[in-house]
Amino acid sequence: MKKIFLFLLVASISTASFAQTKWSVDPMHTFINFEVKHLGISFVNGSFKKFEGTIDAAKPDLTDAKINFTVAVNSVTTGVEMRDNHLKTDDFFNAEKYPTMTFVGSSFKKLKDNNYELAGKLTIRDVTKDVKFNVVYGGVAKDQQANTRAGFHATTTVNRLDYNIKYDPSGMAVAKDIKIELNLEFVQAK
């Protein structure tokens, strides 16, 4: 009887140790921002206000994480309604035909300390390209309701022309390179 009990105890600990954990993005503590140079002399900042994201992982360091993220293009805002409406047209995102942008992670590699490299496929409009994000893992903490939360800061730069965003192909008025900066907070499922 003792052997059966020990076997069940070891089996349950092993299963718990390798159990898949699901995390969902907290929209109240997550920010999807971008920055683009304007006329070569200043910058325009913007963000997306509607998005969904999940992480599925079994390892505590998240190096086996499966990361999926979807952004609603119509939620773009730069603080100027006329510009926001232009960004939703075919000159830029064509929100009517391509209502979402997606990212599907393929690897989350620990580099050093809390620095990671997140690789995956970013789809904007009808184009999917490989992209890598530099990620700083902020760690985990419990909130006042005893939820476990994880924080991340991720950055990358993409060339908008690679994604068929064809407005001003010279890059003189609106630069080709777009800096993407994500401040992410995820809540672990109970």
Give residue 62's pLDDT.
81
Give residue 60's pLDDT.
79
Give residue 67's pLDDT.
94
**Mean pLDDT, contiguous 10-residue spans, the chain (190 residues):** 42 47 95 96 97 92 90 97 97 97 96 95 98 96 93 97 94 96 94
CA distances from 125 to 40, 59, 80, 122, 166 (A): 25, 33, 22, 10, 11
Of 153, 155, 99, the C-alpha closest to 131 is 155
Give residue 137's pLDDT.
94
Domain ranges of the chain: 20-188
DSSP per-residue letters across 65-96: -EEEEEEEGGGEE-S-HHHHHHHTSTTTT-TT
Q: Where are the alpha helices (DSSP H) in the chain?
A: 2-17, 81-87
Give residue 142's pLDDT.
93
Give residue 17's pLDDT.
39
- Burial of 146 (C-beta count, 10 Å sphere; 0-12/13-18/19+): exposed
Q: What is the rounded CA–CA span in Å between residue 95 and residue 118?
A: 26
> CATH fold of 20-188, please?
Lipocalin (2.40.128)
Give residue 116's pLDDT.
96
